Amino acid sequence: MRPTLLITILVFVAGLGIGCFVRSAAGMLQRRIHAADLAAIEKVHQEEIAVTLSQDPKGLADLWAEDGVQFNPEGPPAVGKQAIVAEEEKFRAQYPGFKVLSYTSQYKNLQVEDGLACEWFEKKGEYKLSP
């Protein structure tokens, strides 16, 4: 066998081995990133439930990104953190005795891809508007 053919075969086999190793390592890294994403999302879920139960105005505002959108049942959506906070303040002025008695969320169909997450959810709550 000629030495160049042998070297070519060795380089090819080494390339296959390196390629398999890199692909395996990338898959493990992707799984770690995905697990970290899921943990961060679950943390936000728990924070949202806690702040909703406490009705802390600053905590409620901190849940929103600057470009967040809140869909309101009786009107147009509030677009942007400032608009969402204004809606919350308006609601509080309208119902100063508002109290959340219970609140749960059930999240479904979570998908994470390229750093973006999408899910839908059902929320159940019990509240009273005045003392």
83: in domain: yes
Domain holding 67, by residue range, is 56-95
Q: Residue holding tokens 């086999």?
A: 13
More confident of the two residues 100 and 22: 100
CA 65, CA 76: separation in Å to the nearest integer? 18
Number of domains in the chain: 1
pLDDT at 15: 63
46: in domain: no
47: in domain: no
The helix, strand and coil proportions of the chain, stated in percent and rounded to the nearest 5, come to 55, 25, 20
CA 64, CA 87: separation in Å to the nearest integer? 13
Write out pLDDT tens, residues 73-125. 788 999 999 999 999 999 889 989 999 999 998 888 888 877 778 888 888 99
82: in domain: yes
pTM of the predicted protein model:
0.65
Q: Please provide the average confidence, as pLDDT, over all residues in the chain.
A: 80
31: in domain: no
pLDDT at 111: 81
36: in domain: no
